[in-house]
Amino acid sequence: MADVVTEQVAEQKAVLNGEAEDREETDPVEETGLRLQFSPQLSPVVNADDAAPEGDADAVPKVTKQLEKQVIEEKEEDAEEGADGDDGENASAKSQTDPPSVPICELYTSGTYPVGQECEYPLLQDGRSAVWRMTNEERRALDRANEEMWNDFRQAAEAHRQVRQHVRSFIKPGLTMIDICERLEDCSRKLIKENKLNAGLAFPTGCSLNHCAAHYTPNAGDTTVLQYDDVCKIDFGTHINGRIIDCAFTVTFNPKYDKLLEAVREATNTGIKNAGIDVRLCDIGEAIHEVMESYEVELDGKTYQVKPIRNLNGHSIGQYRIHAGKTVPIVKGGEATRMEEGEVYAIETFGSTGKGVVHDDMECSHYMKNFDVGHVPIRLPRAKHLLNVINEKFGTLAFCRRWLDRLGESKYLMALKNLCDLGIVDPYPPLCDSKGCYTAQFEHTILLRPTCKEVVSRGDDY
């Protein structure tokens, strides 16, 4: 900085003495990381009205002082522009608080959100590479045509990343499961900027423990407390305009479960790696199965082979539809149906030290309106009222009893049962393996874009 200031001072002295020459023509200025230019900001130094008389001893110090001030100001501006590592187009207007409370849309004021992990599609069976999709103009045009949809997924994914980072910072033994879920959901609602059916939570927070693999969230009055030896699956979803991010991870405190978590995490990554356009779902399941069963875990002196839970699967995702019809097996022998361009999938795997099969157990907490249900006559007035609440607040997205309590609904269990009996609402009770075993889960959402595969929910954590 000192060299730049000295050069500018010399030129200003020349101007004051009437001896300046046109340097731009004869002596081009060398490019530097921090460059000063003569601009209207410096005009007070050389304007006729303000110019110091010849021989004024104070003129040079004034020039020096003003130049130094400008250098400092420009340096501060450059630092602010690059503070977030952004290119300027998407610089954050705000920074996130701790705990997080600033909506993602206010952090990315341009409306463009971070892209997930982009991967080439796997080699085709005949050995041909799919790298051509990255450069093919038609594929790129199709990709751009759906940019608004991809951007909705990315906004929801960024909210998910920041929420789960916050959850990892506070979750610990001794907290009640209700406290964990409510803190997570409160944070999610703020970051996603909940707005009726346009933005919000995609389904209730799953916090299934130990032998329970999925679909457990505490109902009102549940006093379950997280313990040091528990294996807790945190499974929650966010959405923007019905574009759902379904992503899950497993939390443990005792390092003896590390191999179990490693097995399931690697199995999920294997499923993601093998997924792609025209890939058969059964081939993905076979690859996951092989990786999962290659792991063993020793618990309290006994060794267990990690088994994939064969009746749990990944699935395709539709707009406002968490299960859109296709299932991604995690064992060999599944369907030969192929993945298609433009589809969205939740790639999730579950590993168990038990039998590797789950069944319905415990009190139900998860419910979801049947996506394909038509008009069904309802006789009970309270059931009609409850269905109106469900349609207005949740649509075809999953909900739980805690969320009905939060809306001020009471004495709704009979009405809810009536809607389930009529097939309008489907219950999703907790899914459990044999008691005494341990289960783990990892999950990501992937976009099968025309040009590449995007693991949109990928983060630094997993």
For residue 348, indicate whether it is catalytic: yes
Q: pLDDT value at position 131?
A: 81
In the structure encoding, which two tokens stand for residue 205, read together?
């927070």
How do residues 236-249 score in pLDDT, each as one tens digit? 999 999 999 999 99
Give the pLDDT mean for 179-208.
Answer: 99
For 273-282, the pLDDT digits (tens) are 999 999 999 9
* pLDDT tops 50 at residue 169: yes
Annotated binding residue 54: no
Active site residue 296: no
58 annotated as ligand-binding? no
Arithmetic mean of pLDDT, 98-122: 96
Residue from 152, 185, 443, 454 carrying the catalytic annotation: 443
Asked whether the predicted pLDDT for residue 40 surpasses 80, the reply is no
Q: Is 148 annotated as a binding residue?
A: no
Q: Which residue has the tokens 């906004």?
A: 155
Q: Do domains 104-360+434-455 and 366-428 have the same CATH topology?
A: no
Active site residue 315: yes
Candidates 143, 152, 230, 246; catalytic one: 246
**Whole-angstrom Cα Rg for the chain:** 30
The pTM (predicted TM-score) of the whole model is: 0.80
CA atoms of 197 and 199, how far apart (whole Å): 6
Residue the block writes with tokens 């574009």: 243
Domain ranges of the chain: 2-81, 104-360+434-455, 366-428
Give the residue carrying structure tokens 């999938």: 345
186 annotated ligand binder = no
Give the residue with greater pLDDT, 421 vs 135. 421
- List pLDDT tens digits, range 1-28: 444 444 444 454 444 444 444 444 444 4
Indicate which residue of 185, 230, 235, 433 is catalytic. Answer: 235
Tell whether 289 is in a known binding site. no
Yes or no: is domain 104-360+434-455 CATH 3.90.230.10? yes
- Which candidate in 158, 185, 348, 409 is catalytic? 348
What pLDDT score does 33 carry? 38
CATH of the structural domain 366-428, one choice from 1.10.40.50, 3.20.20.70, 1.10.10.10, 2.60.40.10: 1.10.10.10
Q: What pLDDT was estimated at residue 128?
A: 64
* Mean pLDDT, rounded, for 309-317: 98
> Which pLDDT band, with edges at 50, 70 and 90, does 422 fall under?
very high
**pLDDT exceeds cutoff 80 at 81:** no
Res 68: pLDDT: 66
Catalytically annotated residue among 194, 323, 385, 426: 323
Q: Is the pLDDT at 391 greater than 80, yes or no?
A: yes
Does the annotation list 246 as a binding residue?
A: yes
182: pLDDT strictly greater than 90 = yes
49 labelled binding-site residue: no
Based on the residue annotation, tell me whether 444 is a catalytic residue of this protein.
no
Tokens encoding 158: 């960024």
Active site residue 323: yes
